[in-house]
Amino acid sequence: MEIVTYEVMCDVLKKLLKKRGMSEKDINELAYYVVNFFGYNDCVVDNTLTPADRYVFNTLEELGIVRTVVDEITISRSKLWRIHYWLYRMDTIEKIFNQEDVEEEENPEDVYKRIFNEE
């Protein structure tokens, strides 16, 4: 997978966040939000993010679909300049995207009601 499209990001986020109770509308908006930062690239410069954006990216990092990288560049007078990037974790995204949807476990109360209502 070379480019993470909106459809791919939607599918990955649905598999990760739907079981945590996030609505499909919110997941689609989050996917759109994330894909707009990356565009056709696989990295985003951290300097372009607001604190709210950074919070979202930290959450995505906890989910395992992005990671951070730091470049250190020596500028005049031997000063060190650090540039922080956010990168897609393409291996993880591809793995989640290719997973089959796992059926959610049935609520024990529903099983009980179904068993005793059938008799």
Return the pLDDT at 24: 92
Return the pLDDT at 40: 86
Contact indicator for 93, 4 with CB cutoff of 8 Å: yes
Return the pLDDT at 21: 86
Return the pLDDT at 100: 77
Residue of 7, 6, 26 whose CA lies nearest to 17: 26
- How far apart CA 73 and CA 81 sit, in angstroms, is 5
pLDDT tens for 25-68 read 999 999 999 999 998 888 999 999 999 999 999 999 999 999 99
φ/ψ of 73, rounded to 5, equals: -125, 135
Return the pLDDT at 2: 82
Contact indicator for 83, 70 with CB cutoff of 8 Å: yes
